[in-house]
Amino acid sequence: MSLYEALVSSLKAIWSNKMRSFLTMLGIMIGIFSVAVLISVAQSSTSSITESIENEGTTQITISLRGRRIQNTFDLNDVEDIRELEGVKNVAPYTSGSLTLKNSAESMDVQVTASNDEYDDINNYNLISGRWISKNDEEKRLRVVVIGIDVADELYGTRDVVGEKISLSGTSFTIIGVLEEQGDTMMGSGDEVAFIPFATGQRMFGDISISSIYVGTEDSESVDTAMSAIENFMLAKAGGDDTSYSIFSSSAMLEMLNETTTTMTYLLGAIGGISLLVGGIGIMNIMLVSVSERTREIGVRKAIGATRANIMVQFLIEAVIVSGLGGVFGIILARLGTNLAGQIMEMNVTLDSVIVVVALGFSIAVGVIFGIYPAAKASKMNPIEALRYE
C-alpha cells in the first residue's frame, strides 16, 4: 500500500465523519489562528515603535528632572557643565507649555517646546523651509518660532509660511521655519508642535526652570560612556538623591523594547502551545473513538493482508490530515485576521512567513504526536478479536 493510497483512504474516513472531523480541526484551527495573529500584531507594533525610535536617533540621551527642588537649583551653567562631559556632543535644555497659537482667522492649542539651537541636531530634525532657532535668537530672546506642518496646514492652509506673523497666547512671533512631517510619535502627534528659543520660552511660560535636558552623543558607541559620565554628574548635583532625576537613552530603550518583544513572543508562543495541546488531546480523543468504532474494519484489513505498518500509517495520516488542515485553515484565517487588525489599529500588520512555516510545522507535529498512540493501538489489534467485535 503506497502513501497515496493511505492518504486517499484517510481522506475518505475524514470525509465520512465531516462534522466530527471539522470540530476536531477547529481546536487546532483556533490555536494556530490566535497565536499567529497575536504574534503578528505584537511584532508589527514593536517594529513600528522601533522604527520611530530609530528615526529620532540612537545617539540621544534624555535627562528628566523630577520635583521642584532640583528644577530650581538646575540652571544653564549646569547645562554647560554637561557639555564638557566625555562623549557628549550637543546639549539642549528643554521646557514646554501649552500655548494658544493664532493667526488672523484660526487658532489652536499647541504644546510648545522651548529649547536651543542644538535641539534639532539631537532629535534629527529636518526643516521643509526656513531655518532652525539660532544662537542669536537665543541670546537676544527673539520672538521667533518653528512650527510643525499640522500647525501650518491648520492655521494657514499652506506650508509656505516662513516670515508670517503668528500670535502665541497674545504675543506676536515670526515664523522662521517649518518642520518636516514627523508622523505620530510615542508622545503624541509630532506635527502639531511649535519650537521657540529657550530664553524666550522661560519668559513666555513665566517659569525659568528646566524640566529636561536633551543630550546628543558623538556616535552610538559613545552613548554608554556619556551615560555613566552624566550619571555621576547628576548624582553629585542632586546631592545623592537619585530619585530626583532619571536618565535614559534611546538605545537603552530599544534594547528594553527588544527584550519585551522577545518575552512577549515566548509568552504568546506558550499560550499557543497550550491551545495546541488542548487541540491535540481532542485529536487523540477522536482518533481513539474512531479506532474503536472501526475495530471490525481493522480486523478485516489485517485478515486480508494489512501489516501493522499499513494500519499504523492509515490512522496516523488521518490524524495528521485533521491537524494539518486545521493548521492551514488557521493560517488562512490568521491572514484575514492580521489584515483586519491592521485596519483597526491603523498600522501595517504582516503575517511573517516564519510564523506561517512554524505554525504549519507545529500543527503537523501535533497530529503525529497525538495520533501515534491511537494508530499504534489500532495496529496492534489482534485480527481474530477484532473480527469478532460487534
Partner 1 sequence: MAQGRADRLAQWKAGYKMSVLIEMKNMYKIYEMGTEKVHALDGVNLKINKGEYVAIVGPSGSGKSTLMNMIGCLDVPTSGEYLLVGQDISKMSDRELTMIRRRKIGFIFQQFNLLKKSTALENVELPAMYNGNDSKERKKLALAALEAVGLGDRTKHRPTELSGGQQQRVAIARALVNDPPVILADEPTGNLDSKSGEDIMEMIENLHGKGNTIILITHDKDIAEHATRVINILDGRITSDKYSEKQRKGVAK
Residues that bind partner 1 (CB under 8 A): 1, 5, 12-13, 16, 296-297, 299-308, 310, 383-384, 387
Are the C-beta atoms of 153 and 131 separated by less than 8 Å? no
9 versus 103: smaller Cβ distance to partner 1: 9
- Name the 3-class secondary structure at 91: strand
346 versus 390: smaller Cβ distance to partner 1: 390
78 versus 297: smaller Cβ distance to partner 1: 297
Mode of pairing for the β-strands spanning 188-189 and 107-115: unpaired
Least separation, in Å, of the C-beta of 363 and partner 1?
26
Least separation, in Å, of the C-beta of 47 and partner 1?
50
Least separation, in Å, of the C-beta of 273 and partner 1?
35
Cell of 228: 555613566
Q: How far apart are the first and last CA of the chain?
A: 27
Least separation, in Å, of the C-beta of 371 and partner 1?
20
203 versus 308: smaller Cβ distance to partner 1: 308
Torsion of CA 81, 85, 88, 91, to 10 degrees: -10
Least separation, in Å, of the C-beta of 328 and partner 1?
24
Least separation, in Å, of the C-beta of 25 and partner 1?
19
- Name the β-bridge partners of 63: 213, 247
Residue 45, phi then psi, degrees to nearest 5: -70, -40
158 versus 307: smaller Cβ distance to partner 1: 307
Least separation, in Å, of the C-beta of 305 and partner 1?
3
- Name the 3-class secondary structure at 323: helix
Least separation, in Å, of the C-beta of 378 and partner 1?
14
Are the C-beta atoms of 85 and 271 separated by less than 8 Å? no
Distance CA 86, CA 217 (A): 9
16 versus 243: smaller Cβ distance to partner 1: 16
Query: Which residues fall within 8 angstroms of residue 207, CB to CB, at 6 or more apart?
Result: 95, 97
303-319 burial, b if ≥16 CB within 10 A, otherwise e? Answer: eeebeeebbbbbbbbbb
Q: What share of the chain is helix, strand, coil (3-state, %, to 5)?
A: 60, 20, 20
Cell of 11: 481522506
368 versus 387: smaller Cβ distance to partner 1: 387
126 versus 307: smaller Cβ distance to partner 1: 307
Count the alpha carbons within 13 Å of 236 in the hemisphere toward its beta carbon.
9
Distance CA 133, CA 111 (A): 17
